[in-house]
């Protein structure tokens, strides 16, 4: 197998791993450019949080969002750099950028998992069961492949 094919296979495998990680991570766990207040409000409504839990979980979500801000900005920069390589492709630069993108994505996945675990530790068994039920319903009722957002009839 030639080196160009190996590079393409490596990149494809990396992209699939990133997509799988992003797809399997719960959305509430740590804001990925989302709104921590909205996430907290939705969770509070479904899980019946106490005032203390609301404060503590709010702090966790805010901290996760703040920690991820620089990573989100860098990911946008990387994506722009990769898109700009259409006319003048530089394999070494692209590979380096995609590896950095993978490292950032892995760090974000870890942060979401860590935040999710910290949130769950603050909940009672009954609240965790409600949260699990809420998460299992996430995305149901939508057509496959349709994104959230305003209807476009």
Tell me: the pLDDT tens digits for 15-49? Answer: 444 444 344 334 444 444 568 889 899 888 889 89
Residue 83, pLDDT above cutoff 70:
yes
On whether residue 106 sits in a domain, the answer given is: yes
On whether residue 32 sits in a domain, the answer given is: yes
Count of domains observed in the chain: 1
Long-range CB contacts for residues 139-147, cutoff 8 Å, separation at least 24: none
How would residue 129 be classed by pLDDT, with cut points 50, 70 and 90? very high
* C-alpha to C-alpha distances, 48 to 52, 85, 127, 130, 152, nearest whole angstrom: 12, 49, 7, 9, 34
On whether residue 53 sits in a domain, the answer given is: yes
On whether residue 148 sits in a domain, the answer given is: no
Q: What is the pTM of this model?
A: 0.64
On whether residue 10 sits in a domain, the answer given is: no
d(CA 104, CA 72): 8
Residue 81: domain span: 16-133
């Amino acid at each position: 197998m030639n080196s160009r094919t190996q590079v393409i296979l490596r990149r494809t495998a990396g992209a699939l791993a990133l997509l799988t990680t992003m797809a399997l991570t719960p959305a509430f766990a740590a804001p990925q450019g989302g709104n921590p207040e909205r996430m907290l409000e939705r969770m509070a409504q479904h899980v019946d949080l106490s005032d203390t839990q609301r404060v503590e979980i709010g702090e966790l979500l805010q901290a996760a969002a703040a920690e991820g801000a620089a990573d989100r900005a860098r990911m946008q920069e990387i994506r722009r750099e990769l898109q700009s390589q259409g006319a003048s492709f530089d394999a070494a630069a692209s590979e380096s950028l995609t590896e950095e993108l993978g490292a950032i994505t892995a760090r974000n996945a870890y942060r979401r998992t860590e935040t999710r675990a910290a949130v769950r530790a603050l909940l009672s068994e009954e609240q965790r069961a409600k949260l699990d039920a809420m998460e299992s319903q996430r995305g149901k009722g939508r057509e496959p492949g349709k994104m959230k957002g305003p209807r476009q009839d």
